[in-house]
Structure 1
Amino acid sequence: MSDLLFFQHFRLKKETVLFLLQKIEDRIEYDHNWNNSVSPINQLLICLRYYATGCHQLSLAFFGGMDKSTVNRIIKRVTLAICHLSQQYIKLPETEDQKRNIQLEFFGIAAFPKVIGAVDCTHIKIQSPGGDDAEIFRNRKNFFSLNVQAAVDANYKFLNLVARWPGSTHDNTIFNNSILKASFERNDFPNCFLLGDSGYAIKKYLLTPLLETRTRAENTYNEAHIRTRVIVENTFGIWKRRFPILAYGVRTKLQLTMHIIVATAILHNIAREATEELPPNDDRYNEAAFQQLLNNVPLNVVNEGNLQNDGFRVRRELIDNYFT
């Protein structure tokens, strides 16, 4: 295939696919050649084609010239192999230099200080998992989904991913039970901020926008907050455009679906590190996403509760001493 046709079929460049093959080949290569076992490169391409289309596995079997059951085993095998790379490619910054670089990159967007990540949730459509608990996966838009939480950096890369909660779960509940929150509660990231929407409870390390603005400084804070946090919305768009199975819906068993979400996030980060081109039209959505966030309050706004807590104090000091 030409480079362009290959990218259209598999959503990654040839060089990136060969790099990935080196990373997982030992895990997917068969130790025998009985029954014409499928080569590692063909296993990887079949799996990538599935991520790129979300098509029925019968169609994929025809595409690859193999049986449907073989395709099913390949998708599981390759997906799990990619997931083993998660600690290498989806991780929070560890050194002071890494933290400082992320803060500088976020500062370059809208001059919001000390930001180390933007956090939000997105729904990935799934088939009904069946059983007595199936309805907890039905979200407020009335389709079955997993509510996936992600924290991203200013380069559209995932720093943290949680892909195990049913679609009916509130964003704030996912955050409260996440390793991400635990790491900030332990003060692993002193003098650093996460930015989230009003679906999250404000903390001294997690800043949310004001629901109403009365002064110029408050308006400046909100605009800088939203222009910076929109990075996470754009990341979701790029991710789902690169791997359309996430937008069309994943029709596999629940455990494999969770692994597919993680695997595609890893591939997204690998593509970002390889400076691959963004899927078409992504840059056009930046301003549109910002305006949508600026003009709309989230449906699930968290009750702000005690106005004297540390989060409100930190936000007020930031507005009065910096954004003024």
Structure 2
Amino acid sequence: MPKTSRRRLKLKNLSKEHNEAKSELLYSWVQMISMPYIPTFGNILSRGSRVKALMFEWVFSEDDNIVDEYNRVLTTRYLNGHFRGPSKDEYSINSLFQANDADFKQSVRTSKTGFAFIYELIKKDKIFENKSYCNQLDLCHQLAITLERLGSNGNGASVGRFARNFSVSHGMIIKVTRRVIHALYSIGPQYLKWPNQEARRRISLVLAKEGFPGCVGFIDGTSFPLYQKPGQDGEVFFDRKKRYSLNAQIVCDANKRITAILTGWPGSCADSSVYQRMELFNNANDFFRKDEYLLADSAYPLGQHCIPCYKAPATQDANNQRFNFWISHSRVRVEHCIGILKGRWASLAGLRLLFYKSAHLEHMVQWIYVCAVLHNILANLGDSWDDLLEEPDDLSITNAQNVPAGSVAQQLRNNIQSYCLNLHAALENH
């Protein structure tokens, strides 16, 4: 059904008012002979003649104003004047870079120094080379749009809002975001990578002081909720929290830098199941030395390179309880890491992206990966983020199998536990 313009609707209403006014005046003319004398503008101008008085009322009636208004609208193309919105260049210079530091960081989730650093990293990517007659937006503008989209969730993450705020079309918002994500994804391996032998040695030295010699990081699972049910195999993405989501495994070091991430698996998958599909599990010798391992919660399987907390009924033992406490004390870093990641890049709290074919899932994985890359880039710059996204603690579904008491992995955990408890006992005595 065609939409009626405000101008056409105004003309229609004025025409209706004009006809109603004439009908009322005609009715007044007929009734005037039997009406008592009432001083009006027409009576004053023509004393003694009701017909002439009525004619004066006709000439000077409000109907004349209606006709004038009708003619004014008829000769005017737009009811309201056109107010030009800010241009692309005006936005990027005035609205963004002249903002104070706090507002700037709230908008694009990083400091001006961090923004400039990211700009320098991606500015030479070929995807920003213009290959058509229509010029691309300035890269600064494209980067600002993308960073703000990555950092927005809920209704604030709608494409329409960004189109209005950044003075571009809906389609341009989507194109720009894909370009910048592509550029950041291509440099990702430089900033999100497994630590080499020397880096792992330094991590181990730090954690040895906490009772975990040989520990090179922490692993934990998290989920990235989806805004709506996926159109493809949606039921398998329904998780234990009764929402649709993607499962992700995140490994971080002692400084809360992400060293490995795997996502794209349905939210219904257990953390231990997704962990066992990571390269660092299946090709452990390429990632760990013999005495190196990760700390994990009780949802993960005990192995030579993964030391989880004890689970019931072993937690009834006092020494096991104390060991669990010290593991949790150290591995809180990975929980903080995930909280910072989701707090800064708030889009991860509810991905408002299409998902009805495999290409959409690939785009989601790239989106999440790029957020992790940006997390590391800004952490390296000392660009902190204090607003963590807190998630309630809950027991994860686990497929981990019990390990025989005499196994190599069990013996390794016993040795680490003994070292950890003795160290903390000695520190408490001093």
TM-score (normalizing by structure 1): 0.89
> For residues 91-122 of structure 1, what are the alpha-carbon distances to aligned partners after superposition, in whole Å with 9 as ceiling and x for unaligned?
11113x211211123345x3322210100110
Q: Note the C-alpha offset of 1:190.
A: 2.6
Does the CA contact (< 8 Å) of 1:112 and 1:224 recur in 2? no
Q: 1:301 to 1:221 in 2, by over 3 A?
A: farther
Does the CA contact (< 8 Å) of 2:342 and 2:388 recur in 1? no
**1:195 correspondence with 2:302:** no
Q: Note the C-alpha offset of 1:138.
A: 1.2
Q: 1:38 to 1:263 in 2, by over 3 A?
A: same
Does the CA contact (< 8 Å) of 1:125 and 1:144 recur in 2? yes
State the one-letter code of the partner of 2:138. Answer: S
**1:229 correspondence with 2:331:** yes
Structure showing greater Rg: 2
Question: Partners of 1:321 and 1:263 in 2: how far apart?
Answer: 39
**1:100 correspondence with 2:207:** no
1:23 alignment counterpart: 121
Q: Note the C-alpha offset of 1:168.
A: 1.1
Q: 1:185 to 1:309 in 2, by over 3 A?
A: farther
Measured on the aligned residues, the alpha-carbon RMSD in Å equals 2.2
State the one-letter code of the partner of 1:142. Answer: K
Unaligned runs of 5+ in 1: none
Question: Partners of 2:237 and 2:318 in 1: how far apart?
Answer: 42
Q: 1:305 to 1:85 in 2, by over 3 A?
A: same
Q: Which moved more, 1:212-221 or 1:262-271?
A: 212-221
Does the CA contact (< 8 Å) of 1:103 and 1:116 recur in 2? yes
TM-score (normalizing by structure 2): 0.68
Q: Which moved more, 1:202-211 or 1:213-222?
A: 213-222
Does the CA contact (< 8 Å) of 1:29 and 1:40 recur in 2? yes
Unaligned runs of 5+ in 2: 1-98, 355-359, 423-430
Partner of 2:255: helix, strand, or coil? coil
Question: Partners of 1:206 and 1:250 in 2: how far apart?
Answer: 34
Question: Partners of 2:177 and 2:243 in 1: how far apart?
Answer: 25
Q: Note the C-alpha offset of 1:70.
A: 0.8
Does the CA contact (< 8 Å) of 2:146 and 2:176 recur in 1? yes
Does the CA contact (< 8 Å) of 2:273 and 2:399 recur in 1? no
- Identity, % of aligned pairs? 24
1:304 alignment counterpart: 402
1:316 alignment counterpart: 414
Q: Note the C-alpha offset of 1:86.
A: 1.7
Picking from 178, 181, 188, the partner of 1:86 is 188
Q: Note the C-alpha offset of 1:301.
A: 6.1
> For residues 121-142 of structure 1, what are the alpha-carbon distances to aligned partners after superposition, in whole Å with 9 as ceiling and x for unaligned?
10001232213x2211111112
Question: Partners of 1:263 and 1:195 in 2: how far apart?
Answer: 25
The total of aligned residue pairs comes to: 312
Q: 1:322 to 1:59 in 2, by over 3 A?
A: closer
**1:139 correspondence with 2:246:** no
**1:270 correspondence with 2:377:** yes
> For residues 259-282 of structure 1, what are the alpha-carbon distances to aligned partners after superposition, in whole Å with 9 as ceiling and x for unaligned?
110000000001110101223368
Question: Partners of 1:278 and 1:308 in 2: how far apart?
Answer: 45
Picking from 356, 366, 369, the partner of 1:259 is 366
Q: 1:214 to 1:249 in 2, by over 3 A?
A: same
Matches within 5 A, 1:165-176: 165-176=265-276
Question: Partners of 2:283 and 2:255 in 1: how far apart?
Answer: 22
